[in-house]
Amino acid sequence: MAIFLSRGSTSTGTALHHASWRGQPEVIHLLCAARACVRVVDERGRTALHAAAGEGEGAACVALLSHGAQCEAECVLEATPLLEAVEQGHAACAAALLQHGARADELDLLSLAALRALVGPDGQAAVNSAPAVGSPDEHAMLAGLPLEFAEQATRMAPVLRRLLVANAPPSQASARAVLRASGLPLDDQTAAWRDLARPSSELLMRAPALDAAACAALRAATDEACVIEGGAASEDSVDGLREYQLNLTSSQLGAIVGASALRELTVELPARFLTVSAAPGAPPPAPLRPYQIFARRYSATTRPWLSRLLTVASTLYSLRRKRP
């Protein structure tokens, strides 16, 4: 049996998925008794066990496991139900999955550390003592942040919080974990996942544009323009947090970093980008021109991160693709 239901506007799943993420074990038992298949996947390749684990519904996980749900099933972005539980910080679900044979030996270092923080190194549940936000390092970092930044940090997916707030080394997190936590539309996630298999030379263009002196001058200008301690910075239009941003015209930027650096940033670098990204045989693209120029200060007491950067970038990319 596979009755598909809508969950909001962005995902679909079977009745079993619906009962799983809602945490309704009694409905799960009824559906399985009526031959609902625990292996059916939604458009993201997620089974009902993925749905329950990702929402922190431990009783639903146990019910699905009792009907033969597969602990090692992988979704489109190769996450198992255990990874779903770990990445969302759900200790009870992670413990239940481990007790039913879920494997943790292929987790990246950051996910493994998060798992141990949730359930202990011996795999036994420590639900009552599991930290609400994350590791002690995360708590220490949160304690030093302005209140509005700390509040936003608690709403982040755990993997993003560990990377952005606790400064965990990026090498400890898998790219697929960051993609799953990004909030990007499924098409963009899967496209990015496919791109990860391509050589970095085809995806990245590295071109130094500012020397140390120019960087120092730009930083000084930003500090002078923004009130760092007084809290008088303007609010960001995306997430409403203080932004500590210096908006610049081309001439103002040139006065700060020099004419040579200005040309490199606004003329030479865009031209090289168009050359690298042009499709074979395509007509020459129109020149790129700066749309907006600004410098933003990032520090523990000003702007520690831009948490919706991926979502904003995805939106801008989608708008660019829709242009005539």
**177 lies in some domain:** yes
The predicted pLDDT at position 298 comes to: 79
Residue 16: what pLDDT? 95
Question: Does residue 233 sit in the same domain as residue 286?
Answer: yes
Task: Name the band, by pLDDT with cuts 50, 70 and 90, for residue 232.
Answer: low
Q: Could you tell me which residues are beta bridge partners of residue 6?
A: 12
Between 169 and 46, the more confident residue is 46
pLDDT at site 156: 81
Find the domain containing 149 and state its range.
Answer: 136-199
* pLDDT tens digits for range 135-168: 546 677 777 777 878 888 888 877 788 788 877 7
Same structural domain for residues 11 and 104?
yes
Instruction: Say whether both 96 and 186 belong to one domain.
Output: no
> What are the tens digits of pLDDT across the range 190-223?
888 787 777 777 767 777 788 999 999 999 998 8
Of 162, 146, 178, 140, the closest CA to residue 311 belongs to: 178
What is the average pLDDT across 72-81?
89
In this structure, is residue 69 part of a structural domain? yes
Same domain, 150 and 108: no
Sorting pLDDT into bands at 50, 70 and 90, what band is 291?
confident
Task: For residue 50, give the amino acid letter.
Answer: H
Tell me if 127 is assigned to some domain.
no
Q: Are 54 and 94 part of one and the same domain?
A: yes
Q: Does a structural domain hold residue 124? A: no
Q: Report residue 291: phi and psi, to 5°.
A: -95, -40
204 domain-assigned: no
Given 171, 199, 227, the domain boundary residue is: 199
Residues 111, 10 share a domain: yes
**pTM of this structure:** 0.61
One domain, residues 232 and 143: no
Query: Based on the domain organization, do 159 and 57 belong to the same domain?
Result: no
Count of domains forming the chain: 3
Residues 157 and 193 grouped into a single domain: yes
Query: Is 206 a domain residue?
Result: no
Confidence of residue 73 (pLDDT cuts 50, 70, 90): very high
- Same domain? For 81 and 141 the reply is no
